[in-house]
A and B are shown apart, each in its own frame.
Chain A
Amino acid sequence: MEPAVETKKLTRVFNPKKKKEGASVRALNSVDLKIEKGELFGLLGPNGAGKTTLLKILSTLLLPTSGKAYVSGLDVEKDYVEVRKRINMVSGGEISGYGLLTVRENLWMFSQFYGIKSSIALERIDDMLGKFGMLDKKSEKVRTLSTGQRQKMNVIRGFVTDPQILFLDEPTLGLDVNASRTIRDFILDWVRKSERDKTVLLTTHYMAEADQLCDRVAIIDDGRILACDSPENLKKLVKSETTLRLDVTTMKDQRVLGTIPGVEKFTSTDDLENNITSLRFVLGDESAISDIVSGVAKGGSKILALRKTEPTLEDVFIKLVGKGFE
């Protein structure tokens, strides 16, 4: 079975309009990617990394300068007619839409370009408008929507046509927490319930989004893929172990805590004035946490606060690039 998306040494160079306006930009630099059917794949990178450029090439809007890109085994450059039947794309921050049409009409019209039966399309539209909390807007003209509502409408447009492969370019860009969560939940549900039939390639510059949502993540910077793996495996690249911090009421006998299996390092500081002991554990094995908690209880202390710090994709990015995001 061919992969949903595959690129081979994909390169895209943008030339300045006039020579003197500066050097050409290598937006994609020999990108090799393989995304399997049924994956929820994330492309994580800062602004200007080349994410949008890649999605434009895959969705037949833009041609590569060199290298190859395949969608469902089809060459995006030559077989674009066939590619278009299988895909759709939505860009975040997209406020597009025919202002004179109603939300429902606008979505329905695009579904018709994909030959979706009218009754099925309308059912799907109402269902999604409901899930996105926009059912009351369905008969409103598109031009009366707020930017956030327009963006949600466009995300719906991507799903309404029921593509095999959906490209989402920063789908939650600038949306509030609730709207973002709704969209993420919907994406996840859509991919999962298809039983490996649907593929999503989404780009984001939100670390947490890539981490929580995606099966695999490719980290892109300056047109190059620096790493590509599951979020868990990526985080293993930065070998900082799990750190557990506990604030407890003053604990006199702490010896037992240092002997718990899985605890690699253990430090404590007492704040007698406030009756607090701060404990810090470096864990080789997270199963030690429950032993620590019961150890504290046996020692007669109460837990006031508990924090677990784990490596994030941000740490991975910093390690790979040598600088943080933005």
Chain B
Amino acid sequence: MAVRSDLRTFKNAAWLGWQMEANWTDPFLFVIYSIIKPIAGTLILVFMYLVITSGATNTLFFSYMYVGNAFYMYVADVLFGVTWVIHDDREHYMTLKQVYIAPISFYMYIFGRAAIRIAITSMGVFLTLLFGVLVLGVDINLAAVDWPLLALALVLGLACLCIMGLALGGISFLTAKHGQGINEGVAGVFYVLAGVIFPITILPGWAQTVSRLLPVTYWMEAVRRGLEPAVMAGLPGSTGLQSLSNLQLMLALLVSTVAFLFISLGIFKYADKVARRKGKIDWTTTY
């Protein structure tokens, strides 16, 4: 019964997300937001890379960086997306309280809405990778891809991002519209500490310790091992996680994901309680 109700909520939320985000009434805007924007964002990074290294794009390190950057889109999108859903429902559509008092699992509502974001972001990630391979010579060889590893890493990693999004969603019950700072902070921490564009080994020792607590660090490594095994094998210097076997790596990802699940649920429940105590569910920002 509860499972059926959760599935239904997930489906409805996903349907709603699709109606709202895949705004086909304006395909032009949709294409810009979901496809052109991510590629443009990537090009800025590529350009900076070229200026700094005054080098070429066909190095192993460039491929390492490019793939990390492409998958980081998921991190930013899911984390921002959940918070955005809550702010939008509350302040723009003013429907948050209606959804909130409905007899549904709010988690499922969030996950349903996030699923659509993930689907749309996936398109951006795919096109960015395609662009990298075709235009910039990023080293991805389809025959060499470790598909099972990649698939498992993607599933676990995206679940983990949704879970972290939940905690941020709870916090955004309590913050105003302009309270995006927390998300930017969290996303920024991951960008720097999780080995997105450079290996964590260039970080100071204490920062590396933090890196090893973050699931995203393991996720980045797993995705790269799956997608570009040759790059990972040939990279000069260490990514910091090379001593872990694939199995150990996935276990580390699983364990840190589960740990974050408990942390996130705790944060969400606490924030939910505070929101009810302070009456923030139907509260709108007044300037």
Q: Which residues of A are in contact with B by a Cβ distance under 8 Å?
A: 14, 56, 59-63, 81, 84-85, 87-89, 94-101, 105, 109-110, 112-115, 157
Contacts and interface: CB of A to CB of B under 8 A. Distances in A.
A105 B15 CA distance: 11
A11 B92 CA distance: 31
Contacts of A56: 279, 282
Contact of B101 (A61, A99, A109): A61
Contacts of A99: 93
Given A109-B15, A113-B104, A114-B103, A61 B279 contact: yes
A78 to B, nearest CB: 12
Chain B interface category by residue count? 20 to 34
B93 A114 contact: no
A114 B102 contact: yes
B276 interface: yes
B12 A112 contact: yes
A105 B5 CA distance: 19
Given A62-B279, A110-B98, A157-B98, A98 B103 contact: no
B101 A101 contact: no
Given A105-B19, A109-B16, A84 B276 contact: no
B93 A97 contact: yes
B128 interface: no
A113 B99 contact: yes
Given A63-B273, A100-B25, A114-B102, 20 more contacts: A14-B279, A61-B100, A62-B281, A81-B103, A94-B94, A95-B94, A96-B93, A96-B94, A96-B95, A96-B98, A97-B93, A98-B19, A99-B93, A100-B19, A100-B23, A101-B16, A105-B19, A109-B12, A109-B15, A112-B8
Contacts of B102: 84, 110, 113-114
What is the predominant secondary structure among interface residues of chain B facing chain A? helix
A61 B277 CA distance: 9
Contacts of B281: 61-62
Nearest to A15: B278
A77 to B, nearest CB: 9
Nearest to A84: B103
Contacts of B20: 98, 100
A100 B95 CA distance: 13
Contacts of B23: 100
A81 B269 CA distance: 13
B270 to A, nearest CB: 14
Select the residue from A59, A84, A98 with max chain B CB neighbours within 10 A.
Answer: A98
7 contacts: A56-B282, A63-B276, A85-B103, A88-B101, A96-B98, A98-B93, A101-B16
Contacts of B9: 113
A56 B277 CA distance: 11
A115 B8 contact: yes
B37 interface: no
Contacts of B99: 113
Contacts of B279: 14, 56, 61-62
Interface in B71-102: 93-95, 97-102
A105 B9 CA distance: 15
A114 B16 CA distance: 15
A265 B97 CA distance: 56
Nearest to A88: B101
Given A61-B101, A96-B94, A113-B102, A101 B12 contact: no
Interface in B1-53: 5, 8-9, 12, 15-16, 19-20, 23, 25
A306 to B, nearest CB: 49
B277 A63 contact: yes
Contacts of A105: 19
A87 B98 CA distance: 11
A109 to B, nearest CB: 6
B101 A87 contact: yes
B101 A98 contact: no
Contacts of A85: 103
B127 to A, nearest CB: 25
Contacts of A115: 5, 8, 103
Contact of B276 (A62, A94, A110): A62
Contacts of B277: 62-63
Contacts of B101: 59-61, 84, 87-89
Contacts of A95: 94
Select the residue from A59, A87, A114, A115 with max chain B CB neighbours within 10 A.
Answer: A115
B112 to A, nearest CB: 11
Contacts of A87: 101
